[in-house]
Amino acid sequence: MAEPQGAQQSSGNHETPSVPKHEAQQQSSDEFERQPVPEHALLKFKSFIGMYAGEHCAGTELMIGPLFVAAGVSVFDLITGLLLGNALAVLSWMLMCAPIATRARLTLYYQLERICGRHLVTLYNLANGIMFCFLAGAMITVSATAVGVWFDFPMPGLTDLYPNSIGWVLAVAAVGGVIAIVAACGYQVVAKFANIAAPWMVLVFLAFGLIGLRQFMNVSEAEVRNVGDLWALANNHIWKGGDPLPGQVKFTFWHVTFFAWFCNMAMHIGMSDLSVFRYAKKSWFAVASAAGMYVGHFMAWISASILFAYQLHLNPGDTNVLPGPMAYKAAGLAGLVCVIIAGWTTANPTIYRAGLAFQAIVHKWSRFTVTLVTGALATVAGMFPAVAMKLLGFVALYGMLLMPMGAVIFVDFWFMKKLGLQSNYAQISKSPFNLAAGLAWFVTLAVCWWLVQTGRIQIYFVSLPGWFFAAVVYVLISYLIQKRNCALSS
């Protein structure tokens, strides 16, 4: 899962896909922040391929893959679910996000500001910033599990929600502290380093899978001569299906499909990547996201899940999802370095972005201070294994939280004028808070939350009906507000 990105305040968010999003964000430039990207600044297709492939092979992949195994997924459900879900994610980028991006050529922030008004966008940034903190916390958790290989302290188990040892707290504090300081001081250096690490990291992930497969062949004494034999090995020993581990939700084909589709919901359906694809010459360039999906969210998840399945095969009682020890057993020091770097290089831009989001609210604080405080918050979050161990649910929640705003942008761009309503209403009415957009967001969240809490629908699926609900609410309330204001003004 790539570190997501949200709307940024207008004080310095310029994203250029020729470098990764997080690096582009750092570039202090006022270019095209509040105007469409001009023709001469557009980028070629290959600029997007590397960016997506690198960004979606992150530290969190090392948690998500094993959690699929913990959820009792079967081989058929996993493979077909990932193939379909990732295809749907790519199509979401291609058909929902990129067509708007290449027509409007505006940042998400400016697009939202025109529709929602500055105050509502600030609220959106706050929500984004908080979620970034938790996500960065999960990445710090991943990196800290590598420290546990060197220092023998008790690490959290699959069902742990709170820190379970002083050693763990100190390890997370040390890792998170370093990440926060580096994000505040040397952000660009780490961003560059992340680019260099990306090809190496992808291959280490692949190596996890290859080594894990051989280990399974050795312990099961299975002969693998063809694809059929491989499938049988996977079905009988690796992804056996059946009941999930205690405290986990059972994952079916549909769970895997929807998770793969929605785990980056904030980016495609939620429209965060408007800021990226505004640089694309053609909307079909969004097919480049397939590089990220099928490298990070297919190969990397499968590889990471093999490591955990092997651990369970050797000792069914060892249900701890700890990327550090798992990677070390498979690939030695290189695996351990991969865990640290994967967590670090993805936590770094996430903390930075959270800082940007918060800075929209605390203008007087320096970027350095905000990033440092944000890093401290993320570190505290990382001490609690709840986020990392419940990452599947958290990612679904993250998508649900930002999805309504994607629906608002989509409807506003394509349908408002056709319905006889005014698009970009906040800009036209000079309102800092478009009530229609605000209510579409809040009411949708309230309804989705109620549906999930009352057990009517699981959080993994609720965002699909939620999107349509948000779209309808936005249109209806916009109609009421705009007609009333029309009547008042005449």
Partner 1 sequence: MLKKIAQIVSWICLAVLILPSALYLTGSISSLQSVKLAMIVATVVWFISAPLYMWKENG
Beta-carbon contacts of residue 101 (< 8 Å; ≥ 6 apart): 273, 274, 275, 276, 277, 278, 280, 283
- Output 118 or 313, the one with its CB closest to partner 1: 313
Binding mask of the shown chain, residues 164 to 193, with x at each position contacting partner 1 by CB under 8 A: ------------------------x--xx-
List binders of partner 1 among 286-305 (CB under 8 A): none
Residue 366 CB, nearest approach to partner 1 (Å)? 23
* Interface with partner 1, residue 383, by CB under 8 A: no
Residue 483 interacts with partner 1 (CB under 8 A): yes or no: no
Q: Which of 19, 37, 274, 307 binds partner 1 (CB under 8 A)?
A: 19
Q: Which of 337, 339, 347, 462 binds partner 1 (CB under 8 A)?
A: 337
Residue among 197 and 267 whose Cβ is closer to partner 1: 197
Nearer to partner 1, 202 or 357 (CB): 202
Count of chain residues binding partner 1 (CB under 8 A): 25
Range in contact with partner 1 (rule: CB under 8 A) among 199-207, 244-252, 419-427, 449-457: 199-207
Closest by Cα among 212, 244, 201, 189 to 74: 244
Closer residue to partner 1 (CB): 223 or 428: 223
How near is the Cβ of 19 to partner 1 at its closest, in Å? 5
Nearest distance from C-beta of residue 173 to partner 1, angstroms: 26
Select 89 or 182, whichever has its Cβ closest to partner 1: 182
* Interface map 23-62 toward partner 1 (x if CB under 8 A): x---------------------------------------
Tell me the C-alpha distance between 257 and 267, whole Å.
17
Supply the DSSP string of 218-284, one letter for each residue.
HHHT----SHHHHHHHIIIIISB-SSPPTT-PPP-HHHHHHHHHHTTTTTTTT-TTHHHHTTBSSGG
Residue 289 near residue 52, CB atoms below 8 Å? yes
Which has the closest alpha carbon to 233: 323, 319, 310?
A: 310
| Binding mask of the shown chain, residues 348 to 377, with x at each position contacting partner 1 by CB under 8 A | ------------------------------
Of 393, 391, 405, the C-alpha closest to 125 is 405
User: Which residues sit opposite 74 in a β-bridge?
Assistant: 240
Q: Among 10, 159, 164, 195, which residue sits at the site for partner 1 (rule: CB under 8 A)? A: 195
Nearer to partner 1, 96 or 213 (CB): 213
Task: State how far the Cα of 486 lies from the Cα of 467, in Å rounded to an integer.
Answer: 28
Q: What's the closest the beta carbon of residue 330 comes to partner 1, in angstroms?
A: 8
Please list, residue by residue across 218-229, b when 16 or more beta carbons sit within 10 angstroms of its beta carbon and e when fewer do: eeeeeebeeeee
- The CA angle 378-380-381, to the nearest 5 degrees, is 60
Nearest to partner 1 of 197, 470 (CB atom)? 197
What x/- string results for residues 252 through 291 when contact with partner 1 is judged by CB under 8 A? ----------------------------------------
First-last CA distance in the chain: 51
**Closest distance of CB 189 from partner 1, Å:** 10
- Angstrom distance (rounded) from CA 131 to CA 143: 19
432 by Cβ neighbours in 10 Å (0-12 / 13-18 / 19+) ranks as: middle
- 8 Å CB contact between 66 and 304: yes
Contact 404, 446 (CB under 8 A): no
Is residue 333 close enough to count as binding partner 1 by CB under 8 A? yes
Q: Give, in order, the Cα–Cα distances in Å from 364 to each of 23, 114, 360.
A: 24, 25, 10
Query: Is 119 near partner 1 (CB under 8 A)?
Result: no
Stretch that binds partner 1, among 168-176, 278-286, 327-335, 373-381 (CB under 8 A): 327-335
Q: Residue 133 and residue 379: Cα distance in Å, rounded? A: 8
Judged by beta carbon, residue 210 or residue 446, the one nearer partner 1 is 210
Draw the binding track, 206-225, toward partner 1 (x: CB under 8 A; -: no contact). Answer: xx--xx-xxx----------
Helix axes 118-150, 323-359, angle to 10 degrees: 150
How many CB atoms are closer than 10 A to CB 442? 13
Give the nearer residue to partner 1 in terms of CB position, either 134 or 344: 344
Q: Which one of 72, 335, 355, 404 is in contact with partner 1 (CB under 8 A)?
A: 335
Binding site for partner 1 (CB under 8 A): 19, 23, 188, 191-192, 195-197, 199-200, 203-204, 206-207, 210-211, 213-215, 331-335, 337
